Structure formats: structure tokens, C-alpha cells
Amino acid sequence: MARGATGRLATAVLAAVLVTGCALVPGVAPAATDPAAARERAQAVLSAWADAVAKAGEQASVTPVGELTGQVGDWEEAVGDNNKRALMAGLIASDSPLAEDAPAEGEVTWQDGTTTKVSLMSAQQAIVAMGSITEAPCADCAMLVVTAAVLTSGPIQTTRGPATAPIWEFTVAGTAVKVTRAAIANPVVVAPDEGGWGLGLAIESASGSVDGSELTVAFTGSPDPGNMACGEDYTAEAVESDLAVVVIVTRHPRVGLGEACSLVGARRTATATLAAPLGDRVVLDLQQGTPVSLVLAP
């Protein structure tokens, strides 16, 4: 499993516990989101995204979601501890020079058959990009040594939903695991941060249409109030720019005296009304400031 998928799963599980666990005290509702603080955070997220777009040169036709580095296969027990930590620390290099020239344009294909052409990075540029990762420094890790690279294709998540895209696949000495890196050149990337922790709920995906003025977001929340007296309702508010939309999900707890909520989270949704049609804008999570996968209706 790619590190991005693992991280999102862990975040969702933690969110489920925190969201529902807060209602364990009978008759006491969890603290509500401060609307002013949430809107201020949303504006900061939009500003950070605008800066990332400007840094990339121009808004790309494809914006990946989550980690761009991944792997095929599971680390063997003998090397797993080192290799997992080394990859997270960006400790990866080639044992000989890799191709510096970027390949010809590649193609990204979405599940509905839509395609687009994208510029690609070279194998060496991909190694450099992976080496820039400092997610978790590891002073005692041995370097991952790349012995070969091949341009292939594989699944990625994008701001327009799941797609198949060009991917660099690297052979690493001492393991059967292949390390991968999305080969799309100059993607718009923002580093996740925890500045929005406690403001609204983390959203996991969104759905809408290019011409539509409604955007539905999915997240982990409490069971529906109709099924549990101390469940929760949710409302969604959109804060918008020309480039992106941030959705603030607000909780409306329904806590009954003498009632205690289950720790089991539920998949919930809420719909926000947009001031303008969605168009080609991305949807950003309020809590971490990163883009989420968006499923577009036909």
C-alpha cells in the first residue's frame, strides 16, 4: 500500500474515534466549530494554494492527490524497517546516472474515458523529487540505492477522481519492492499542515459537476441522528477563490441526557452551495490544506 493511502486510512480512523468519542459524556455536547476561525483558516488555505499554483508556473491539467511517491509490493522482513523509514526520509539515490532528458508527453486517463496530455519529468528528476522528502528524518537509515528505472503507468488519485497516469518505477538493490513516483512534471503541490486541526471535520472526497452550484463532501462522522439519539447532523459552507474551493463542515450534535454514543464512526455527507459553478477548480481540505479527490458527475 502506498504511504499516502496508509496515512489517509490512519487519519480517517483517528477522526472516527475523535468525532464519536467526544460524545461519550452523557448530556454534554462537543465544542462547536468557531465560524470566524474556520473562515480565516479557509482563506489561508486558498492563499497557500494560489502560491503553489504560481510556483508551478501555471495550473496543471492534472493535479494529483496525496503522496506522489509509492511502492509496489511489501518490504521484506529483513529490510522492511530500514527501507520504510528511509523512503519516508527521502534517502534514495541511483548507483549510476539516470536519464536527464524528459520523455515525450504522456497521457492521463480517467475512469470515464476522458484523457489529457501531460508533460513528464525525467527519471533523474523523479529521484531528486523523492530525495526532497523530509516527512520523517532518519539519521540511522541506510540509503535506498536505485539500480534501474522504467517508465510505466499506474493508478493515481487526482482532483478529478481516480486515473491512470505515467509513473516511474524504480528497482532498488536488495529488495523485490519497486518504488514508484508519479511522472507528471511540475504538479501543483502543497505540504499538509495541522493548522486547521479542530476546525470542522476533515473531508475525504467530494462530488459535483463542472456546471453545478452544489458540492457534496464525504467524511467520517457520527451515526445518523435518526439511528441514535446522540448522533449528529452536519452542514457545509464553501469558501471560494478562482482556483479552489474549501468546504467547512460544521457539526450539530444531538446529545440526549443519559445517552452515550458508540465509538463506531459512520460515512456521512454534507452539501455546500457554491457562489459560482465549480468549473475546473480543485476542492481543498480545511484541516490539512491539501486537495481531495473529486468525482465529477457526467
Please report, for the domain that includes residue 137, its CATH number: 2.40.128
Of 197, 190, 192, nearest to 41 (Cα)? 197
What phi and psi values does residue 20 have, to the nearest 5 degrees?
A: -90, -30
Decide the pairing of beta strands 293-296 and 203-208.
parallel
Report if residue 64 sits inside a domain.
no
pLDDT digits (tens, 9 = 90+) for 170-226: 999 999 999 999 999 988 888 888 788 888 889 999 999 999 999 999 999 887 665
Among candidate residues 182, 214, 246, the one where a domain is terminated: 182
What phi and psi values does residue 14 have, to the nearest 5 degrees?
A: -60, -40
pLDDT digits (tens, 9 = 90+) for 92-132: 999 888 888 888 889 999 988 889 999 999 999 999 999 88
Computed over its alpha carbons, how large is the radius of gyration of the chain?
21
Same domain membership, residue 166 and residue 196: no
pTM score? 0.76
Report if residue 30 sits inside a domain.
yes
Report if residue 110 sits inside a domain.
yes
Among candidate residues 182, 203, 234, the one where a domain is terminated: 182
Report if residue 77 sits inside a domain.
yes
Distance (Å, whole) CA 221 – CA 255: 14
Same domain membership, residue 74 and residue 156: yes
Among candidate residues 132, 152, 182, the one where a domain is terminated: 182
Report if residue 40 sits inside a domain.
yes
Backbone torsion region of residue 279, taken as left when φ is above 0, otherwise alpha when ψ lies between -120 and 50, otherwise beta: left
Q: What is the pLDDT of residue 255?
A: 63
Which structural domain range is residue 142 located in?
Answer: 69-182
- Cβ atoms < 10 Å from Cβ of 194: 9
Question: What total of structural domains would you count in the chain?
Answer: 2
pLDDT digits (tens, 9 = 90+) for 216-250: 999 998 876 655 566 788 999 999 999 999 999 99
240 bridge partner residues: 245
Cβ atoms of residues 250 and 235 within 8 Å: yes
Of 241, 223, 240, nearest to 232 (Cα)? 223
Q: What is the pLDDT of residue 163?
A: 92
Q: What amino acid is encoded at 113 in this protein?
A: G
The vertex-120 CA angle with 118 and 123, nearest 5°, equals 160
Q: What is the pLDDT of residue 230?
A: 63
Same domain membership, residue 286 and residue 229: yes
Report if residue 63 sits inside a domain.
no
pLDDT at 19 over 80: no
